[in-house]
Amino acid sequence: MTFTLPTLDHPGLLALFETTAIAAGQEILRIYAKGCDFELKDDKSPVTEADHAAEAIIQAALRRATPDIPVVAEEEISGGHVPGDLGARFYLVDPLDGTREFVSRNGDFTVNIALIEHGAPVLGVVYAPVRGVLFIGGAGGAEEVSIGEDGSVTARKAISCRKLPDELIAVASRSHRTPETDAYLEKFSVADCVSVGSSLKFGLLARGEADIYPRFGRTMEWDTAAGDAVLRAAGGITLTLDGNPLTYGRRNQADDADFANPNFVAWGRL
């Protein structure tokens, strides 16, 4: 049984996502410029000073604006600070998606903030600070926003997924591509496959530059929620392998950790 959530100012919250992601991105760029060491977490993924600094900025902004909405953030979870009952509305935050890309200094990393309601990503922002590009999506559609070096907005345009062509453009993970991904893509007529890091893959689908993003291999909900929200706002969808929309808030899973995603395929406009 689904109950009605209290009214929330989605446009105002989306604006907060944007300004907060930019602020976090500016701090990431400051650390990126001077350089920093990294450590390995228990799952062998890297974490840096930039991850923690960006998460602190985002956590403070969200909790100040909406103290009653739980925040599920990657580094807090990694540190053992797991929220209790989430309810039907919560945030998913990845303060620096693509830390491997950050460490290797290729620029393909993002700041991700999403709002989940009844398991669906309804608002999201994905900001790539090195590229100066921010994707944002909600009920009013999706936009691509250009950000200057000082963090100011310099341009804004509506984006949408394109209708699937006869020959697809695929996107795949730069750091985590698997043989299963290649085997899946062999089922389709694929003209090209572009490798890119972090949740930028969702952005390429959302702005009509690519059509399919299959992911076979472990991801966590904070890796995908913001990009998925942008993609859905642009007319696309992310499906599990059984053809159902990817949902969020997975806990007490028998075969994996809390908030771990199943394999999925993100599509442009079907």
Is residue 77 within 8 A of residue 52, CB to CB? The reply is no
Q: CA-CA distance, 199 to 127, in Å (whole number)?
A: 9
Q: Is 85 annotated as a binding residue?
A: no
Q: Is 223 annotated as a binding residue?
A: yes
Q: CA-CA distance, 64 to 59, in Å (whole number)?
A: 8
Q: Is 42 annotated as a binding residue?
A: no
Q: CA-CA distance, 33 to 173, in Å (whole number)?
A: 25
Q: Is 132 annotated as a binding residue?
A: no
Q: Is 249 annotated as a binding residue?
A: no
Helices (H), the chain: 10-34, 49-65, 74-78, 99-104, 179-185, 200-206, 221-233
- Enclosing H/E stretch for 105: none
Strand pairing report for 168-173 and 190-196: parallel
Q: CA-CA distance, 114 to 110, in Å (whole number)?
A: 13
Annotated binding site for substrate: 74, 96-99, 223
Annotated binding site: 74, 94, 96-99, 223
Annotated binding site for Mg(2+): 74, 94, 96-97, 223
